[in-house]
Amino acid sequence: MPFLIASDINKSYQVGGQRLHVLRGLDLAVERGEMVAVVGASGVGKSTLLHLLGGLDRSDSGSIQVGDADVGGMTDEALASFRNRHVGFVFQFHHLLPEFTALENAEMPLRIARVGQDEARARASAVLQRLGLADRLIHRPTMLSGGEQQRVAVARALVTEPSVLLADEPTGDLDEKTAETLHALLREMHQERHLSSVIATHNMHLAASCDRVLRLEGGRLIPA
């Protein structure tokens, strides 16, 4: 039984005087431990899909199931709690808080979840070290390279030990070598933690290293 299931998802937006249909009857099933790449042209709806899967937005119709959780049927409060506990997000732009250190940024989801400071710091430190940032814990974002900043963002996504990892063009703002290094780290962490991961990317080379590649076209997913 797949761990993440999206069934007959429809999503549209009002743009000016017209209705823009982004997703049309989309279906997706991701097994526990599977990494799925979603490719497609800019503006086709990859980010919209990830936002729906992770509960950052709601579909017009259809259902999304993560484990035993009915994502679409949750209240806003329950959805916020679900996101913080079970979903890790990595975006193209790291969105780190500039006034905080790498360690403080990485532990932020745990502090929001009211985990004690010592435990939050220990868990965030362990993930950062695993990602090769042991000597960057007290550095603020402006003191880090682009690849290092994105690794801090990955640590922040994984620190709550989520079951689902959603990454939206996580290497899109990096040079080729740094992008390959980061993707390899994402793959390693995915395997170690037995995650269900959906990675949106333009990079077909990186997509090919995933277990399955799907193309988002015409509002639906098809084999790439």
Question: What's the DSSP call for residue 163?
Answer: S
CA distances in angstroms from 1 to 5, 29, 31, listed in the order given: 9, 9, 7
**Domains by residue range for the chain, with CATH:** 4-97+164-223 (3.40.50.300)
* 214 in Cβ contact with 222 (< 8 Å): yes
Query: Cα(184)–Cα(110) distance, rounded to whole angstroms?
Result: 25
pLDDT of residue 185: 85
| 3-state SS class at 218 | coil
Q: Tens digit of pLDDT for each residue in 188-216?
A: 889 999 999 999 998 888 899 899 999 99
Q: Tens digit of pLDDT for each residue in 14-64?
A: 888 888 899 999 999 999 999 999 999 888 999 999 999 999 999 999 999
The H-assigned helical ranges of the chain are 46-53, 76-86, 102-112, 117-130, 146-158, 176-193, 204-207
The model's pTM is 0.91
